[in-house]
Amino acid sequence: MYIDFGTNSEIALWDGKKIISASAAGGPAFEGGGIGCGMLPGPGAVYAARMTDDGTGLVCDTIGGLEARGLCGSAMVDIIAELTGAGILDDRGRFAPGAHKNGYRLGDKNGGLILKKRDVDSFQRAKAAIGGAVVCLMDAAGMRTEDLKNIYISGAFGKYLDIKNAIRIGLLPAISPRNIYKRSNAALSGAEYLLFHRNSIEVIESLKNRSDFTDLSFSDSFDKNFVKNLFIKPFLR
């Protein structure tokens, strides 16, 4: 399976005979959009986070080692995974009763950034769009999660993604992290390959003849699987 995360996420599944593909409208959360303190990957963007040993806060890593200016998409994965693991968020994306009414403050050392409930909601919807699309493609191929041999991830979001945390929150199917590969410049590499390949037209025709596109807007099961994958828990079918 190949997933290019973005506002419009492209997903393709090779079942050994043909390529089944779909486009999932995840919204801008993977790129830091729709998040109150979100930003694109760049200097000062928090790209990774982990809970302190005493569980009292988060340690955040920023691009360039600068003071935190905002959260990019990969940081949202880490923060949601860590807060859920600590019981600060439940699997519906709600903060623990009586706590964090105005959101979770990442700490003064992290630029005073605050993660709010609506930010978690935005990311849950993006996650659910991916989950719903993945289920639809696997159903079309007659495949189970355990049939997936490898997953390839591309895009700026994938460059910084913590694979284990992505599996923890259900963003990716639960296969071995050793079989999940990050290819941040896959689209550019593919374009270069076709530009310089002497038989590029034949390659394109061969791919086209072995490809089927699934329009999720006409899928009877997408809405059902979208709702199931709103929960912050391992991938659901």
C-beta of residue 106 within 8 angstroms of C-beta of residue 113: yes
DSSP conformation letters of 210-233: TEEE--GGG-TTHHHHHHHTTSSS
The most confident of the ranges 52-66, 73-87, 197-211 is 73-87
Cβ neighbours of residue 59 closer than 8 Å, sequence gap 6 or more = 49, 50, 51, 52
* Strands of 211-213's sheet in order across: 180-182, 151-154, 2-4, 9-14, 19-24, 211-213
Q: Which CATH number fits domain 2-29+128-228: 3.30.420, 1.10.287, 3.40.120, 3.60.21?
A: 3.30.420
pTM above 0.75, yes or no: yes
Neighbours of 87 (CB within 10 A): 10
**Measured between alpha carbons, how far apart are the two ends of the chain, in Å?**
16
- pLDDT of 220 reads 81
Q: Where in the chain is the domain with CATH 3.30.420?
A: 2-29+128-228
Quick one: which H or E segment has residue 171? none
Neighbours of 50 (CB within 10 A): 15
Dump pLDDT digits (tens) for 21-48: 999 987 888 888 889 899 988 899 999 9
Q: How confident is the model at residue 111 (pLDDT cuts 50, 70, 90)?
A: low
Neighbours of 78 (CB within 10 A): 27
